[in-house]
Chains A and B, each alone.
Chain A
Amino acid sequence: MSTLISEFRKIISTKFWWVLTLIVAGYVAMTDSILAFAASMAETMGDMGTGQEVMMPQGEEFALFVYSSGASLCYVFPAILGALIVNSEFRYQTITPTFLAQPRRGRVLIAKLIVALPFAALTGVVLVATSIAAGGGVLALTDQITGLEEPKVWEFFLRVVAAMTIWGLVGVGLGALIKNQIAAIVGLLGFTQFLEPILRLIPLFTGEDYQFLQYLPGAVNDAISGVSMYSVMMPSPSETLSLPIALAVLAGYALAFTIGGYFTTFRRDIS
């Protein structure tokens, strides 16, 4: 218990948790309102004379599409938050006093996982709140359907908070596995924002579907939230995992990284 309180105080006495949460809010406010606004323009201007029929979802489906634009990218922020909880200790060598206070290192790691939960969940709640305010706000102002009375939309919001929370744990595990702060964050951004999106576009060009793609972390994230920008972009949406399996796969990533980190970084000499 004392280790938990220590870990909690470590987070709230630094800035990164609220800075990352603010970034989520700013990012979502921007993407959601731009998408919602652009849609209203498109409606008034027709299809802009391209002659092509643009396949856009309608009604509450479109509202969901707006809300999901932030969610399908913002999951890296709770992951960065989780990683920083571990990496900042090694970067500033506060791991020394941490292990002096609690020489049972496994307990330190478990405490970090537990305290990451509320902070990661908070990023999810802030994401949803911003989505409603910005995306919903612009939709309402431009006389489009907000979908906020639909249970389906609220289910989506719940799923987003669940996904963001588990991403916090994935981050803690990754931070434990990759001790170096820069390497962990660059790796995380590089994989989720660059490598994975490219991999997921392969079926567009080859026309074939690859089973492993649905197990990639971003795809799993989309499977949890149930809505994805990719499924809109893809001509034939590839298969996605069911919700329980997707939750289990994401939690599995967190568990695998954490165990890997325990047997490497957390077993090494601290000098």
Chain B
Amino acid sequence: MRVEINHLTKRFGSVKAVDDLSFTVEPGKVTGFLGPNGAGKTTTLRAALDLIKPTAGNVTFDGKRYREIGKPMKQIGAALEASSFHPGRKAIDHLRMLAPAVGAKQAQCLKVLEFVGLADAAKKPVGQFSLGMRGRLGLAATLLGEPKVLLLDEPNNGLDPEGIAWMRSLLREMASKGCAVLISSHMLSEVQLAVDDVVIIAKGKLVHASPLSELADMAGEQTFVVPAYGEGFETLCRTRGWNFHRRGYGFEVVGPSAQEIGHVCYVEYLELHQLSSQSQTLESVFFAMTENQEAAS
């Protein structure tokens, strides 16, 4: 199943939480849905699942809205961040309460609980669960059916490193079966090893969408520049369209080589105190992108 987000806009009062957002989640791939907190990731997911009504645009699953799919939980497994449990209800009962929606029996409930590593906690009330255990239980619920789409909001929250590795292999396996997988995160480094594609948003707007490899190419080189006059250099970056990120007294500039920056500054009579090439991490590309978006708005 292909998930298409089409010109989605959601306004809460005067705030645009999501602003004309469009992208696609392809079957057979894991897509990382990235952005700082408050960028509109959860709102996008909730709109996709018909939990909130978009102001404009829509989200479709092979052309259909969520509510138009008969027995949607059979096809679409979704676990949202505030994933929500009655504290007095036992883990197994949480699944049994959802099971009729996908036609699952008791045995299937036990099977998915065991699969997510909660077999021993089946009869414990969810109120006694840690954040990581709740996350696993939410995931178990998404696997009750045989989903062709997985939408997971911050699935690594509360998981230990071992759990994160386990989650990664699960996501890879689901994608290899043809499932379209979307996982949100505010940390690129958290999902970097798991995803094929990245979609980056900030302030509700699309900043970047590409295969991870293209983002990695952009990482390559960056240059650290300390100009005598910061404002002049910032204006230069904007007119030249260079991505930059302020750090301390200096700027990390992505795109042009150190040689090019040095030449342009010489021509423009801008005094530099430092100019050095550095290899840049993916994370800093991500930060540079989301910060520029926030500064521009």
- Chain A residues with a Cβ under 8 A of chain B: 1-3, 5-6, 9-10, 13-15, 88, 92-97, 99-104, 269-271
List residues 70-124 of chain B with CB under 8 A from any CB of chain A.
71-73, 78, 80, 82-90, 93-94, 96-103
Say yes or no: is B131 at the interface (Cβ < 8 Å to chain A). no
With A3-B100, A14-B86, A101-B98 as contacts: A271 and B51 at CB distance below 8 Å: yes
Residues in chain B near residue A269, CB distance under 8 A:
46, 51-53
| Closest chain B CB from A13 CB (angstroms) | 4
For this complex, 13 residue pairs linking A to B, each with C-beta atoms less than 8 Å apart, are A2-B101, A5-B100, A9-B93, A9-B96, A13-B90, A13-B96, A92-B85, A94-B84, A94-B86, A97-B84, A101-B102, A103-B66, A271-B52
| Closest chain A CB from B80 CB (angstroms) | 6
Say yes or no: is B67 at the interface (Cβ < 8 Å to chain A). yes
Say yes or no: is B141 at the interface (Cβ < 8 Å to chain A). yes
Residues in chain B near residue A104, CB distance under 8 A:
67
Residues in chain B near residue A100, CB distance under 8 A:
49, 51, 72-73, 78
Nearest-neighbor residue (CB-CB) of B43 within chain A:
A271
Taken together as a complex, chains A and B put the C-alpha atoms of A200 and B29 apart, in Å, by 68
| Closest chain B CB from A261 CB (angstroms) | 18
Q: Which of A6, A10, A270 contacts B51 (CB 8 A)?
A: A270
Residue of A88, A94, A99 most packed against chain B (CB within 10 A): A94
Say yes or no: is B50 at the interface (Cβ < 8 Å to chain A). yes
Top 8 nearest A-B pairs (CB, nearest first) are: A93-B84, A101-B101, A13-B93, A2-B100, A269-B52, A103-B67, A5-B100, A270-B51
With A103-B66, A271-B43 as contacts: A96 and B101 at CB distance below 8 Å: no
| Closest chain A CB from B224 CB (angstroms) | 41
Residues in chain B near residue A13, CB distance under 8 A:
86, 89-90, 93-94, 96-97
Residues in chain B near residue A15, CB distance under 8 A:
88
Residues in chain A near residue B90, CB distance under 8 A:
13
Q: Which of A3, A6, A96 contacts B83 (CB 8 A)?
A: A96
| Closest chain A CB from B284 CB (angstroms) | 32
Taken together as a complex, chains A and B put the C-alpha atoms of A101 and B66 apart, in Å, by 11
Taken together as a complex, chains A and B put the C-alpha atoms of A5 and B100 apart, in Å, by 7
| Closest chain A CB from B189 CB (angstroms) | 28
Residues in chain A near residue B49, CB distance under 8 A:
99-100, 103
Residues in chain A near residue B67, CB distance under 8 A:
103-104
Please state if B97 and A10 are interface contacts (CB–CB under 8 Å): yes
Residues in chain B near residue A94, CB distance under 8 A:
84-86
Taken together as a complex, chains A and B put the C-alpha atoms of A75 and B199 apart, in Å, by 55
- Beyond A9-B93, A14-B88, A92-B85, 10 additional contacts (C-beta under 8 Å) are A1-B100, A3-B100, A88-B86, A94-B86, A100-B51, A101-B73, A270-B46, A270-B52, A271-B43, A271-B46
Taken together as a complex, chains A and B put the C-alpha atoms of A1 and B89 apart, in Å, by 22
Nearest-neighbor residue (CB-CB) of A92 within chain B:
B86
With A14-B86, A269-B51 as contacts: A6 and B97 at CB distance below 8 Å: yes
Residues in chain B near residue A3, CB distance under 8 A:
100-101
Residues in chain A near residue B141, CB distance under 8 A:
97
Residue of B66, B82, B85, B101 most packed against chain A (CB within 10 A): B101
Residue of A3, A5, A99, A103 most packed against chain B (CB within 10 A): A103
Taken together as a complex, chains A and B put the C-alpha atoms of A103 and B89 apart, in Å, by 22
| Closest chain B CB from A16 CB (angstroms) | 9
Please state if A6 and B100 are interface contacts (CB–CB under 8 Å): yes
Nearest-neighbor residue (CB-CB) of B138 within chain A:
A97
B 14-52 to A, binary, CB cutoff 8 A, 1 in contact else 0: 000000000000000000000000000011001001111
Nearest-neighbor residue (CB-CB) of B90 within chain A:
A13
Nearest-neighbor residue (CB-CB) of A1 within chain B:
B100
| Closest chain B CB from A48 CB (angstroms) | 49
B 55-68 to A, binary, CB cutoff 8 A, 1 in contact else 0: 00000000000110
Residues in chain A near residue B97, CB distance under 8 A:
6, 9-10, 13
Taken together as a complex, chains A and B put the C-alpha atoms of A270 and B99 apart, in Å, by 22
| Closest chain A CB from B241 CB (angstroms) | 37
